[in-house]
Amino acid sequence: MLFTEEHKAIQKTVRDFVEKELNPHTEEWEKAGAFPAHEVFKKMGDLGLLGITKPEAHGGLGLDYSYQVAFSEELGLCQSGGVSLAIGVQTDMATPALARFGSNELKEEFLAPAIAGEKVASIAVSEPGAGSDVAATKTQARKDGDDYIINGTKMWITNATQADFFCLLANTSDDPAHKNKSLIVVPSHLPGISFSEKLNKFGMRSSDTAQVFFDDVRVPRRNLIGQEGAGFTMQMIQFQEERLFGSAMGLKSMESCLNDTIEYLRERKTFGQPVLHNQVIHYRLAELQTEIEALRALVYQATETYINGGDVTKLASMAKLKAGRLTREVTDTCVQYWGGMGYMFDNQVNRYHRDLRLTGIGGGADEIMLGIITKLMGIAPKVQAYAAQQKND
């Protein structure tokens, strides 16, 4: 995949935005445990950055996903992962299903203002008892006339306290677990919705994350995205963009972490010479840069498959798995090379380490990616068949 002048123009716009509008404020936002999402998103909406792949009819740019990858990669230059994560929720996690499967009416009411940066979106899938196992979702949306009445609890919801709407996964029938779920757009200010305190996190500290409680929340049934009962499948499709976003976003964050470390090690001396001059160190840094380039190639290959209409599940899962592992390897190595300074909470390399640790957990942990990959390679035992076989043996 080669970036054209148009891709480069988007990258420059993002880079300038990150440098001028985000990075000067990241210290303040990290300390506050939140950033002003409405203010930041409005500026991004004005630049056309929140709807790169979204339909032009609703204010998007209507470009293919390679442009979104160009955007996500550049967003990785933001020095506060919580801000990039929140932006990714808006563009790649809470709105892809709405854009693809939502009615025109629903898109006009929620997608268009999300693209314009006038409404903040959240994705509400995870629950206290259903993270990796999305099928174990317990939240119920019971039909009552023209409405759904929603009851349940969602956990670890990014943008929660600032959101204007949730893209919520809930059970709408008693059918089997993969066929009873629906995605519903739920405005966040309805009676019956309440929030926990902001969750005190290891990293991503500038994004507001909370539990969301739904207690007899009444939502019109027209807020259903696509078909009732197809929510699990639509969420699995939506996850592909989330996973590509996470993989692409990590690339430049890792490179910044590496570059900051190289600069530090050039200056820092031990035993009369810069630490960087130790072959064990500069070889290791070169190895990590090579790994980042390999991940970049995988992300681009997955993107090409996706924009050509292929099934990207295997490649996106591989990219997400590799990104989860490599972000740990790169940032942990950098913390090591910064020594005591790397152990300091306010150190930028320390922040990369904490922020990027989420890559291997959120949106499907490493082990979940391995499960998908093995299934698609045809080497995973079918759980029920395996259990029956064990019984017969």
Ligand X SMILES: Cc1cc2nc3c(=O)[nH]c(=O)nc-3n(C[C@H](O)[C@H](O)[C@H](O)COP(=O)(O)OP(=O)(O)OC[C@H]3O[C@@H](n4cnc5c(N)ncnc54)[C@H](O)[C@@H]3O)c2cc1C
Contact footprint for ligand X (CB under 6 A): 89, 123-126, 131-132, 156-158, 201, 204, 209, 358, 361-365, 367, 371
- The two structure tokens encoding residue 345: 């909470």
Catalytic-role residue among 30, 241, 242, 255: 242
- 179: which 2 tokens? 């066929």
* CA dihedral for 317, 319, 325, 328, sign (positive or negative): negative
Chain residue at closest Cβ approach to ligand X: 131
Q: Is the CB of residue 241 less than 8 Å from the CB of residue 92?
A: yes
**Residue 259 Cβ, how far from ligand X at the closest point, in Å?**
25
Q: Comparing C-alpha atoms, which of 6, 17, 133, 111 is closest to residue 58?
A: 111
Q: Which residue has the tokens 């996973």?
A: 243
Tokens (6 digits) for 287: 């190895």
Closest CB 273 distance from ligand X, rounded Å: 40
Strands 209-220 and 121-124: unpaired
User: Which lies closer to ligand X via its Cβ, residue 47 or residue 199?
Assistant: 199
CA torsion sign for 71, 76, 77, 78 is: positive
Please identify, using beta-carbon distances, which residue of 59 and 96 lies nearer to ligand X.
Answer: 96
Of 204 and 281, nearer to ligand X (C-beta) is 204
Complex with ligand X: residue 66 or 122, whichever CB lies closer: 122
Active site residue 242: yes
- CB within 8 Å of 220: residues ≥ 6 apart: 146, 147, 148
| Token pair listed for 377 | 């390679």
User: Please, what is the minimum distance in Å from the beta carbon of residue 91 to ligand X?
Assistant: 13
CB of residue 356 to ligand X, shortest distance in Å: 12
Query: What residues are labeled active site?
Result: 242
